[in-house]
Amino acid sequence: MSKISLAVEVAGLRLRSPLMNAAGVLGMSPPILKRVYDSGAGAVVTKSIGPAPRTGHPNPTLVRVSCGALNAMGLPNPGAEYFVDEIKALKEMGVPVVASFFGGSVEEFAEVASTLSKAGADALELNASCPNVQEELGMLASDAGNVEKVTATVREETRLPLFVKLSPNVTDIKEIAMAAERGGADAITAVNTLKGMAIDINFKRPILTNTTGGLSGPAVKPVALRCVWEVAEAVDIPVIGCGGVTTWEDAIEYLLAGASALEIGTAVMTHGFEVYGQVNEGIRRYLEMNGFSGIKEVVGLAHQIGEEQDSRADRCSIRV
Ligand code: SIN
* Series of mean pLDDT values for 10-residue runs along the chain (320 residues): 88 97 88 97 96 95 95 95 94 97 95 97 96 77 94 97 97 98 98 97 97 97 98 98 98 98 96 97 98 97 82 57
Ligand 1 midpoint to CA 237 (Å)? 24
What is the spatial distance between Cα 201 and Cα 203, in angstroms, rounded to a whole number? 6
What is the spatial distance between Cα 259 and Cα 242, in angstroms, rounded to a whole number? 9
Cα dihedral angle (141, 238, 75, 41), rounded to 10 degrees? Answer: 160
Question: For the chain, how far is it from start to end, CA to CA, in angstroms?
Answer: 56
Quote the pLDDT of residue 320: 41
Q: In angstroms, what CA-CA distances link 123 with 78, 96, 158, 207?
A: 20, 9, 9, 36
User: 242 an active-site residue?
Assistant: no
DSSP state of 301: H
Global pTM value = 0.95
Nearest to 130 by CA among 121, 120, 141: 141
Of these residues, 67, 130, 242, 316, which one is catalytic?
A: 130
**What ligand 1 atom has the least distance to the C-alpha of 75?**
2
Phi, psi dihedral angles at 44 (to 5 degrees): -115, 150
Mutation to probe ligand 1, out of 21, 133, 216 (largest number of atoms < 8 A from CB):
133
Is the beta carbon of 215 within 6 A of some atom in ligand 1? no
**What ligand 1 atom has the least distance to the C-alpha of 100?**
8
Contacts of 217 (CB under 8 A, 6+ apart): 67, 68, 69, 244, 246, 266, 267, 270
Is the beta carbon of 50 within 6 A of some atom in ligand 1? no
Is the beta carbon of 74 within 6 A of some atom in ligand 1? yes
CATH of range 8-319; options 3.60.20.10, 3.40.50.1820, 3.20.20.70, 1.10.3720.10: 3.20.20.70
**What ligand 1 atom has the least distance to the C-alpha of 57?**
3
Phi, psi dihedral angles at 62 (to 5 degrees): -145, 135
Is the beta carbon of 128 within 6 A of some atom in ligand 1? no
Report which protein residue has its CA nearest ligand 1's atom 6: 130
**What ligand 1 atom has the least distance to the C-alpha of 132?**
3
Ligand 1 midpoint to CA 129 (Å)? 8
Mutation to probe ligand 1, out of 70, 166, 192, 195 (largest number of atoms < 8 A from CB):
192
What is the spatial distance between Cα 48 and Cα 98, in angstroms, rounded to a whole number? 10
Nearest to 42 by CA among 22, 5, 14, 23: 14
Report which protein residue has its CA nearest ligand 1's atom 8: 130
Ligand 1 midpoint to CA 239 (Å)? 20
Could you tell me how far CA 108 lies from the centroid of its own chain? 21
Pairing of strands 239-242, 187-190: parallel
